[in-house]
Amino acid sequence: MLNVTDARAVRILSLKDCCVSGVALLHNELYVLCHGRVDNQVQVHSTTSYKLLRCVSVPELHRYDDQDMVSCDRSNCLFISDSGNRCIHQVSTNGIVISKWTVPGEPRGLSVTPAGDLLVVCRTETGAYQLVTFHLDRGKLIMRHIKLQSTIKGPCQAIQLSSGHFVVCQHGHPGLCDVNAQDQVTRFYDGVDMARLRCPCHVTIDRDNELLFVADHDNHRVVLLSCSLQFLGDVIKLALPSSLCFDHVTQRLYVGHGCDVTVIQLQHAEGSKLPASDPHLVTAL
């Protein structure tokens, strides 16, 4: 199991005049989705030096601040949710929009399932919420819909566990819930006292599928939970964390928070040392 007590954090990026909507990893590059500029932009950084390699403009994106982004190794591309245009953009690493996938409602948070399918939280025109998975089979796009119970208030992002269950972040009743494939809520977690969550908005999982990292937005922290939704403690205190991405190779957690991106080394491994602090590049916390 990962050791978070000796974690080291480094702020690697501070944006000007825009905020971070999503972070993703693909082929040793860090992709940062920015909003607030005239055109939506994805900045691409090296995961070794964190220097800016290039900027990718995605002008077709509607200028909303609730976009999300995820990468998919199997498809070798990025997926960006576009609630304004009610679609998912499949984007190549050089910014070419490969395709648009129409979503039955407003897409919210994204993730990739253990099978490599895209998982989207959607808000329908009636105000109901559902999980939608997108699967490409021999060039044919197959969608699967899972309607979420009305007791799940304001879901904003979800992931699928290796068990097949879904862990859903919800704003309306701040907490996490475990949902099986039959839309049955099997567990709910909101915590008590110091473990209570306030507006959890993003969740990701570690390499061994044992630990959940949760962006506890209004408590200004990232917390650690077991897959059975047991609170294990704080990972780091950061202002307004909103997006997470875990590197299964280097055991690093990337956190988008406000206008910044911070990387956390959770377990020392050969070749996974963080770069030394450079006033022009990174800021040690």
Residues of the chain with pLDDT under 50: 268-271, 276-285
CA distance 172 to 152: 8
What is the per-residue pLDDT for 282?
40
Note the pLDDT tens digit of each residue in 156-202.
999 999 999 999 999 877 789 999 877 788 888 888 888 899 999 99
CA distance 137 to 134: 10
- Which DSSP letter does residue 194 get? G
What is the per-residue pLDDT for 284?
37
What is the per-residue pLDDT for 224?
94
CA distance 115 to 142: 14
β-bridge mates for residue 187, sequence order = 178
CA distance 71 to 23: 9
Closest-CA residue to 167 (of 220, 103, 87, 113): 113
Average pLDDT, whole number, for the chain? 85
Q: What are the extents of the domains in the chain?
A: 8-284
The length of the chain in residues reads: 285
What is the per-residue pLDDT for 45?
94
What is the per-residue pLDDT for 27?
87
CA distance 208 to 243: 20
Task: Give the DSSP per-residue string, 98-127.
Answer: EEEEE-SSEEEEEEE-TTS-EEEEEE-TTS
CA distance 69 to 209: 21
Please state whether 115 falls in left (phi above 0), alpha (psi between -120 and 50) or beta: alpha
| Residues 261 and 5 sit within 8 Å (Cβ to Cβ) | no
CATH topology of domain 8-284: Neuraminidase (2.120.10)
What is the per-residue pLDDT for 281?
36
